[in-house]
Structure 1
């Protein structure tokens, strides 16, 4: 018989996700952005609170913080890499700081161990944006399970996808219950919150999408191996290309996107040139730049983050897809090599 609550597919997916990624609880939601907003709300973050966010991030992360009426505080990158610079983080933490929100762009968890230690010293939560880091492991733990709660996307292009959707992972029963209540207008009970006593959202994952995600989860191991193979193939094919210095992935990374420092003149224009030639990349195609430099951050009174600006202005991050065949990857490699040599 059909489940009268209409949530059988979501519940099956959640049990499978928790098992697969070694978490106690999973909560499915309608998107990765919804996962972030739900996590913040479940943690009680709201008016007047501050959340430390890396300057190397995407607008969706910031939008979730603003949606719960908290203030994002941008933390600069380290001088020689990604993540959040510990010294800048300490300087920007204050009495209103409630959480650190690392963003594992490109499947990397740079500096996560340091952030966990800093969060413990500051007495704040770590909420991980692991939307691009499905399958990445750091010291034996999956990305998204090291902090209090981890947030993921199921949008097309992710290693596990169903077209649109998201989920959260946590070991905290209270956070899981509050997240489940928030995603359905607080109609579900949660510790200390009476049903219907607060305003929430309709962030439920549609049941056909939940069923599709559950089906696709069975192929996740193979998909993860394929993404790493794609990543390594592209690096190998342009290893001798002038003007591109490989940024090697840390151990355990999922290979979400291969990265290079561009040493050619006008590297951002070079990335834009590649995008016009069909090589989709984060900087040239999507305009990725340090958050304080983005027009959408103007009303947030951000401090400049020069290290993040420098890293992203010199970055080539090629967007990979499950649909890319080896021939497609070789065409991408040939295009990058040709354009780099011509640019010089």
Structure 2
């Protein structure tokens, strides 16, 4: 932690314990709303908490269904299940990310309350089509933008196109404070209900009397809020550096056999460079890279289509073959703000060496 970050923490730490203190979280909420162009921001304790809080604020619960991409991480699904709703997995278009509009329309039903697109790797593929479908179906769009800080679609920040956007502040995100999350929305009622839910409904919200419902302690700790506020000042530089790292790895591996780069849509934040692996046993190759110190979503964290996961088999009545094929052949290298150019060269050399040996 830098000396400047420690100085930002000092006033908060000096005032502890202060059970009613919210100055740091209030300050970063105002700053987040200004930075990303929304009327309201609500901080919470994690990205998963942001998703659950958004669903609760939208009134989604028992018996409701939420359309979720099959190409997602378990945290998205966990939030839907925790609120009492049922996730309905939607396949990707062939060879692409996002949610297939035809499959989505076929799986929407009378219990569908929301579409929850996941901007995996910072990509907002197909978001405009989903917004149009949501309007036709009369349901909300709640964006999982936990990996998409700084991505844009047609000039708008990811997480600000739907009714509410959910973000993570965990280490590894472009804006982080160790652990935490936040929501962005233009709807004052959604913001008020989210703020009430994250603090056991101690605060009033439209149509909800204080302490009349059970909520959660999803508040962001004040020292972490102060650290997030400090790091937000350097967000533009951090975003630029992540994009440089992304492009550097793609360029270094342009001639590596068995790897076909998947270019990002315009405006993507460079969260993670992606390749389609054409080598035999691509999942085994990703696992081999992980053992060699190249952390990646498939080999290190076991990313697979949700219906194929042990936790997803009981939730999904049908497979999503396009998503399964896409993720089974994916190499998504995990980048970090701590990576130096030398680190990136080591990663590139390792991937190239292992691909040629595997090939």
Q: TM-score range by the shorter chain?
A: over 0.9
1:80 Cα deviation (Å)? 2.3
Cα separation, 2, equivalents of 1:153 and 1:123: 28
Matched, 1:261 2:267: no
Q: Deviations over 1:61-87 (max 9, x none)?
A: 000000010000000000120010000
Matched, 1:19 2:34: yes
Matched, 1:294 2:309: yes
How many residues in Structure 1 have an aligned counterpart in Structure 2? Answer: 344
Secondary structure in 1 matching 2:68: strand
- What is the TM-score of this pair, normalised by structure 2? 0.95
- 1:120-199 alignment runs, 5 A limit: 120-199=135-214
Alignment check: 8 A CA contact 2:89 2:316 kept: no
Question: What is residue 295 of structure 2 aligned with on the other side?
Answer: 280
1:4 Cα deviation (Å)? 7.9
- What is the TM-score of this pair, normalised by structure 1? 0.99
1:303 Cα deviation (Å)? 1.3
Cα separation, 2, equivalents of 1:4 and 1:343: 57
Cα separation, 1, equivalents of 2:298 and 2:40: 35
- 1:1-344 alignment runs, 5 A limit: 5-344=20-359
Cα separation, 2, equivalents of 1:335 and 1:243: 14
Is there any run of 5+ residues in structure 1 with no aligned partner, and where?
Answer: none
Alignment check: 8 A CA contact 1:74 1:302 kept: no
Cα separation, 2, equivalents of 1:299 and 1:192: 36
Cα separation, 2, equivalents of 1:4 and 1:112: 41
Is there any run of 5+ residues in structure 2 with no aligned partner, and where?
Answer: 1-10
Cα separation, 1, equivalents of 2:195 and 2:160: 18
Q: Deviations over 1:244-298 (max 9, x none)?
A: 0000010000000000000011111110111111100000000000000000012
- Distance change >3 Å, CA 33–CA 4, structure 1 → 2: closer
Secondary structure in 1 matching 2:226: helix
Cα separation, 2, equivalents of 1:218 and 1:302: 46
Alignment check: 8 A CA contact 1:149 1:168 kept: yes
Secondary structure in 2 matching 1:295: coil
Cα separation, 2, equivalents of 1:186 and 1:95: 29
Secondary structure in 2 matching 1:296: coil
The CA RMSD measured in Å over matched residues stands at: 1.0
Cα separation, 2, equivalents of 1:279 and 1:92: 38
Alignment check: 8 A CA contact 2:163 2:185 kept: yes
Cα separation, 1, equivalents of 2:98 and 2:313: 22
